[in-house]
Amino acid sequence: MGELKATRAVVVTNDEGLHLRAAAMVVETVRRYESQVKLTKDGEPAGIEVLQLVSLGVAQGEELLFEATGRDAAEVLDSLVQLFASNFSEDVQEAEKTES
């Protein structure tokens, strides 16, 4: 039986784009799974390492395409989609700052 493959596109909605902390969260998420994850931006492949992600200069509104291969391919991509949809939890952090 072949390995499972899955693909998901995400749009960066965060005002700051894919900045250092957000890139670190992407890498951390990918590392929790066994599947191999590839990323492309504008058709060009990019590595899933913090500095490589930040160097892409991904701004708000830009789309990234993730592809995973492995037994938990869908799960890793679903986690990444959730991470991007939550704006890397920055809305929660901003709310906590204003409550303090």
Domains of the chain: 5-99 (3.30.1340.10)
The CA-based angle 28-79-31, given to 5 degrees, is 25
Question: pLDDT tens track of the chain, all 100 residues?
Answer: 568 999 999 999 989 999 999 999 999 999 999 999 999 999 999 999 999 999 999 999 999 999 999 999 999 999 999 999 999 986 544 444 445 5
The letter for the amino acid at 12 is: V
Sign, CA dihedral 71-73-79-82, equals: negative
pTM for this entry? 0.86
Q: What is the pLDDT of residue 89?
A: 82
Estimate to the nearest angstrom the gap between the alpha carbon of 44 and the chain centroid: 16
Q: What is the pLDDT of residue 73?
A: 97
Beta carbons within 10 angstroms of residue 58's beta carbon: 22
